Structure 1
Amino acid sequence: MKRLIVATILVLQTCFLYAQKEKKYVVQGNELYKQQKYQEAEKNYRKSLAVKGKLVEGNFNLGDALYKQKKFGEAGEQFGRIAAAAQDKNVQAQAFHNLGNSLLSSKKIQESIEAYKKALLNNPKDDQTRYNLAYAQQLLKNQQNKQNQNKQNQNKNKDQNKQDQKNKDQQDKNDQNKNKDQDKKDQQNGNQPRPDQLSKDEAERMLEALNNQERGTQDKLKNKKFGGAKGRITKDW
């Protein structure tokens, strides 16, 4: 019987020593946290958890120290573990609240909303959580409105581009039909081809023909002018 009592005392003493050591690191971490030395505080909280890791304060404050260093992913994981393991509703509410903050800071708005709702289920009277929930819901609404507006603008631009291309195609078609009608009309009226349709060789041949015609006309005029004009004959009796 005495051996059992002695063994029990030794176990209790050991647990007490571990608890004291664990508490010591938490206290040191809290002092560093107050001095905004969050990295050093994190180290002490981790030391406290390495002893036994059962102190809620050590676990919770480690999450806070990670959050202050903007390690939002790690902080969220820490608060998630606390919320899953906690039996006390107030502890769960605080853990879910801080989990929501970590998710919101990571721009995971929808997930943060779910965390805030779970926090309120455990503590419906928490006005700060209710405010954060409303804020996250407004952010989500703004994000969705912006996405819808961007989608509408993209669709509008696509429709405008389609209309512009359609107008261009129609204009090209109209121009082609207009040229075809003009060519047909020219052929029916026996008109000479339009200058813009003449090749370089054709233009040179036409110019040469005109020059030859002009030279022939000049030669005829010249012969008529100097070809023995008749004068009045005076008879010498």
Structure 2
Amino acid sequence: MKNVLTYILLLLSITVVAQDKTEEKAALKLKLKAQSFVAEANDLADSDAFVEAEMEYRKALSIKPTQVAGAYNLGHQYIKKGNFEEALYRNQQAAKNATTKEEKHNAFHNMGNILMEEKKCKEAVEAYKSALRSDPSDDETRYNFALAKACAKQQEDDNPQDDDKDGENNKDKDDSKDKDKDKEQEDNKDKDQQDKEDQGDKDKKDGDQDKDEEGAPKDDKESDPKEGDKENQQNQPQPGQMSPQQIKNLLEAMNNQEQKVQEKINAQKVKGAKQQTDKDW
């Protein structure tokens, strides 16, 4: 039984080793294939066949994304074409997958150069720092690092800091809000004052309509006791004159007197005339 178990374990170990060797062979095969694509791309790049070279580099990276040489060399070609955005991405890819200090140094050095081309001096300083960590003895990197520091300081002096800008912007916004609030209050105050003035004008106008042409209130004039006294005085006879009622009474008396005289005359006429009597039948 013990021999059987030993045989099984030995068989399993042989299988694992064989599998590992198969995976290693597959990885090595991919690596060699990627290297062949990179080599072909390098030859095309030397012949200024950029499009064909770019295609071969991409083939190498598609089968082995961690292929440092493919990403680094493709980034270098993008720098030559002025495509700094893509060049920066490819050098970042190379720096991430780099396994040696030399690979890291070269990738970060190129990243610093790209950032300087884009006037991003502060970011370039950090890239050159990373490059010098991998190779402090590189004179070109040290020189570029000094230029990047001077450029970053100049940019900082020329432009206010972002914090100060934000503070100023916030202050301006607060001041603007306060001014708008004050203006709104002033407008409301003016509106209230105008409403009061308009109401006053309306009341005054209504009051004027209640007055007659002489400016006196109509109701007051109608109920003015002085006006009633004037009417009574007009109905009363003036000194040396008869009142209408007196004239009326005098006319009635004259008419009565005339009627009495007329009746008297008529009576005398009847008394002097002959009287005839009717016959009796």
AA partner of residue 105 (structure 2): A
Q: Which residue of 1 aligns with 2:77?
A: 65
TM-score scaled by structure 2? 0.47
Residues 4 and 75 of structure 1, relative CA distance in 2, 3 Å threshold: same
Once the two structures are superposed, residues 113-149 of structure 1 have per-residue CA deviations (whole angstroms, 9 ceiling, x without a partner) of 121122112211011111111222343455556669x
Matched, 1:13 2:13: no
Once the two structures are superposed, residues 25-73 of structure 1 have per-residue CA deviations (whole angstroms, 9 ceiling, x without a partner) of 0001111121233332222111101112232211211211222221111
**Contact 2:67–2:97 (CA under 8 A) maintained in structure 1:** no
Q: Which residue of 2 aligns with 1:198?
A: none
Matched, 1:52 2:77: no
Q: Which residue of 2 aligns with 1:134?
A: 146
- Structure 2 CA distance for aligned equivalents of residues 126 and 99 of structure 1: 15
**Alignment gaps of 5+ in structure 1:** 149-237
Aligned equivalent of 1:124, options 125, 131, 136 = 136
Matched, 1:108 2:120: yes
SS of the equivalent of 2:23 reads helix
Aligned equivalent of 2:46, options 27, 30, 34 = 34
CA drift of 1:22 comes to 0.8
Residues 3 and 100 of structure 1, relative CA distance in 2, 3 Å threshold: same
Matched, 1:83 2:82: no
**What does residue range 154-169 of structure 1 map to in structure 2 within 5 Å?**
none
Q: Which residue of 2 aligns with 1:187?
A: none
Once the two structures are superposed, residues 130-171 of structure 1 have per-residue CA deviations (whole angstroms, 9 ceiling, x without a partner) of 1111222343455556669xxxxxxxxxxxxxxxxxxxxxxx
Q: Which residue of 1 aligns with 2:34?
A: 22
AA partner of residue 56 (structure 1): V
Residues 136 and 36 of structure 1, relative CA distance in 2, 3 Å threshold: farther
- Structure 1 CA distance for aligned equivalents of residues 25 and 129 of structure 2: 43
CA drift of 1:15 comes to 2.5
CA drift of 1:8 comes to 4.2
Residues 13 and 146 of structure 1, relative CA distance in 2, 3 Å threshold: closer
TM-score scaled by structure 1? 0.55
- Structure 2 CA distance for aligned equivalents of residues 64 and 80 of structure 1: 12
SS of the equivalent of 1:20 reads helix
Residues 51 and 138 of structure 1, relative CA distance in 2, 3 Å threshold: same
Residues 30 and 5 of structure 1, relative CA distance in 2, 3 Å threshold: same
- Structure 2 CA distance for aligned equivalents of residues 140 and 64 of structure 1: 25
**Contact 2:71–2:93 (CA under 8 A) maintained in structure 1:** no
Residues 40 and 52 of structure 1, relative CA distance in 2, 3 Å threshold: same
The root-mean-square deviation of aligned C-alpha atoms, in Å, is: 2.5
Once the two structures are superposed, residues 165-208 of structure 1 have per-residue CA deviations (whole angstroms, 9 ceiling, x without a partner) of xxxxxxxxxxxxxxxxxxxxxxxxxxxxxxxxxxxxxxxxxxxx
AA partner of residue 103 (structure 1): L
AA partner of residue 71 (structure 2): N
Q: Please say which structure displays the higher CA radius of gyration.
A: 2
**Contact 1:93–1:122 (CA under 8 A) maintained in structure 2:** yes
CA drift of 1:5 comes to 5.4
